[in-house]
Chains A and B, each alone.
Chain A
Amino acid sequence: MKLVQWVTIIVSVGILTGINYLLEENINPYVIRVVVNCGIGMILAMSLNLVNGCAGQFSLGHAGFMGVGAYTSAAITTVLALSPFFKTDMGVGCAIVIGGLAAALAGYLVGLPSLRLKGDYLAIVTLGFGEIIRIIFLNIEEVGGARGLPGIPPKANFFWVYLWVVITFVALLRLLRSSYGRAILSVRENEIAAESMGINVARYKVVAFVISSFFAGIAGGLFAHFQSFIDPNSFVFNKSVEAVIMVVIGGMGSLSGAILGGIIVTVLPELLRIFEQYRMVIFPLILIVLMLVRPMGLLGHKEIWELFRKKASS
């Protein structure tokens, strides 16, 4: 890596630490909670964007992958607790990565049917998968079953969540700006043409699923270690739908759009609390209006900096 990259890394870690300090010292816990949930939403949306937006597959089971990551990492830090190491910052970090890997494995298994199914049919299969995962956790007494799993070390704070936001963003952007990324995009654009140009379409569908579910698993792990309590209801079908909304609102295939979608879908319902019982009437209305005004999502297929570049040139 180049010097510039090292400097960027050090500076961004510094900035994150700074904001983290300011937040924890001065801001009320409610705001911190919303900001951190935003970060988790961003990771979830960016990861789903790879499958739904970039590879052109339709997954409705993202909460399932998040659940696998959450339960795996939480099990490591609480139930299994192999060593005191897993109660420390670094230990929790490792547990979250292991959770991500477990989710990636699940992504591989779900990616396989996507080779034969398209569109709505694939959506149903992934939906089914998400529900199966939830029911499995519901029935494993060792991780609390329906009562949920309490006492997870609350180590995921603003700093760790946003560090992962940055990692996810950079990793996925670099993936998309590479030959592998072009291969994944070509699958979305035209499968038959991609095959004829020597792209192993089946392989890249699975690759998209695996990488996507890894980051969804990370989001789950962060969620678990932020809330310090998870139960199967945290990963219901609604959560998957929420992730799809984030991606669609932001603009399919746009990473910065996914980030924007993550913020909107997390923050908007909080801002609407002033409307009290009408909150969940107004929120969907806003979504409907958004979709009518910009059917391609806020950023379309473009990244936010591309929009500005175009404006500058014209």
Chain B
Amino acid sequence: MTALDQNLIGGDFKIDALSISFGGLKAVNQFSLHLKPMELQGLIGPNGAGKTTCFNLVTGVYQPDSGTMVLNGRSLVGLEPHEIAKAGIARTFQNIRLFGDLTVLENVMVSYHMNVDYGYFELFLRTPRYYRIEKEFRDKATELLKVMGLETRKEDKAKSLPYGDQRRLEIARALATHPKVLLLDEPAAGLNTQEKAALMGTIANIRNLFKTTILLIEHDMKLVMGICEKITVLDHGDIIAVGTPREIQDNPKVIEAYLGVG
């Protein structure tokens, strides 16, 4: 199996009426979304609209008060975050959360751990199987880093990477879990205009290369317009609009949410 092989062509992910409140605040209210296999959708909204909270709900960091999530026919509600990752949902973080003191290569290799099939005794004795699997992980990780343009820095510590490379490494690490659905939380945050454009191109490529379904959070509306098939707009925890980029652009509610009432 190589880094690019996927067992499924994307994932079919249905989120229905997901809600959570913190104290009296309804952070996310009746959030529904249907991601079809290999679709690239956007989730946008002004600051504090609840976008990241949605991701935290979907990845099991928070448990929803109500609602359902079904990935390829399997319900994910109530699972631990690591179980959800194993089920095929990977994510990146808005505020980068790399394993800073590990090398770039090791960061990616951590994601392969869920597939490890040697035990503790084999690693203490370094059996042939240990060597074979470690080599397989190493080769797969190297290949993946090549695709993401990071292979020259694979022995460097993750924290020593420039900011843009750290963002790419986050995506590489998420891809290494062989996700059926990839959730990207503001991957372009903090990048300059050219870097942003380049990254959006990469994301569009990733979908075809890794055959994965992608949901992209982006603060900047213009950016997602170019690559997403469908966009959901969130404001104060509620969905205020769903549609194609063109429909969203002209939606008065969206304009109001972003610019305020004129």
Contact = CB atoms under 8 A, between A and B. Distances in A.
Contacts of A200: 80, 82
Nearest to B120: A180
Contact of B98 (A175, A185, A190): A190
A176 B112 CA distance: 15
B102 interface: yes
18 contacts: A1-B125, A5-B126, A174-B126, A175-B123, A179-B134, A179-B137, A180-B116, A188-B101, A190-B98, A190-B99, A193-B97, A194-B99, A194-B110, A196-B82, A196-B91, A197-B82, A199-B114, A200-B80
Given A1-B126, A180-B116, A189-B99, A197 B173 contact: yes
A199 B177 CA distance: 11
A198 interface: yes
A182 B106 contact: yes
A1 B124 CA distance: 10
Interface in A151-198: 171, 174-175, 178-180, 182-183, 185-186, 188-190, 192-198
B99 A199 contact: no
A82 to B, nearest CB: 28
A175 B174 CA distance: 24
B113 A199 contact: yes
Contacts, number: 101
Given A193-B99, A195-B81, A197-B177, A179 B133 contact: yes
Given A180-B120, A192-B97, A193-B99, A199 B133 contact: no
B90 interface: yes
Contacts of B126: 1, 5, 174
Interface in B172-189: 173-174, 176-177
Nearest to B56: A192
Interface residues of B, number: 39
Q: Which of B111, B125, B177 has the most CB of A within 10 A?
A: B111
Interface residues of A, number: 27
B31 interface: no
Contacts of A185: 99, 101-102, 106
B148 to A, nearest CB: 16
Contacts of B59: 196
Interface string B28-64: 0000000000000000000000000000000111000
A193 B158 CA distance: 14
A267 B239 CA distance: 67
A247 B257 CA distance: 54
A239 interface: no
B130 interface: yes
Contacts of A190: 97-100
A182 B125 CA distance: 18
Given A195-B81, A198-B86, A189 B100 contact: yes
Nearest to A201: B82
Nearest to B92: A196
Nearest to B126: A174
Interface string A286-304: 0000000000000001000
Interface in A32-91: none
Contacts of B110: 182-183, 186, 194, 197, 199
Q: Which of B86, B93, B97, B98 has the most CB of A within 10 A?
A: B97
B109 interface: yes
Contact of B177 (A174, A183, A186, A198): A198
A79 B174 CA distance: 56
Given A192-B97, A196-B59, 10 more contacts: A171-B124, A179-B134, A192-B81, A193-B93, A194-B99, A195-B82, A196-B91, A199-B114, A200-B82, A201-B82
Contacts of A199: 82, 110, 113-114
A179 B112 contact: yes
Contact of A179 (B80, B90, B113, B174): B113
Interface in B160-179: 173-174, 176-177
Nearest to A300: B101
